[in-house]
């Protein structure tokens, strides 16, 4: 959670009395396209005013390496 919080897609309220988190308005889900448009416009204005942080994400020059496939192993039955 610390990584998500450090890059700002997950936000915490100013008063940290409980483990309460919420999604940045840029990545939250919405019931309609209109709701999405309004939330993005509102979030952009709040970012400009300094109320919300800008989301930071790593920039990759190349795609991250893929995990090599693992061979399946058989296990003997007990007995």
> What mean pLDDT is reported for the chain?
76
DSSP lists the bridge partners of residue 76 as: none
| Helix (H/G/I), strand (E/B), else coil: 44 | helix
pLDDT tens sequence across 42-67? 888 988 998 888 877 777 778 778 88
pLDDT of residue 5: 67
Q: Are 12 and 21 in contact (CB under 8 A)?
A: yes
Confidence of residue 2 (pLDDT cuts 50, 70, 90): low
Q: Distance between CA 4 and CA 2 in Å, rounded?
A: 6
């Amino acid at each position: 959670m610390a990584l998500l919080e450090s890059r700002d897609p997950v936000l915490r309220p100013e008063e940290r009395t409980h483990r309460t988190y919420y999604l940045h308005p840029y990545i939250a889900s919405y019931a309609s396209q209109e709701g999405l448009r309004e939330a993005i416009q509102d979030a952009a204005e709040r970012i400009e005013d300094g109320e919300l942080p800008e989301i930071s994400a790593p920039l990759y020059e190349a795609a991250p390496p893929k995990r090599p496939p693992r061979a399946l192993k058989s296990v003997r039955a007990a007995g």
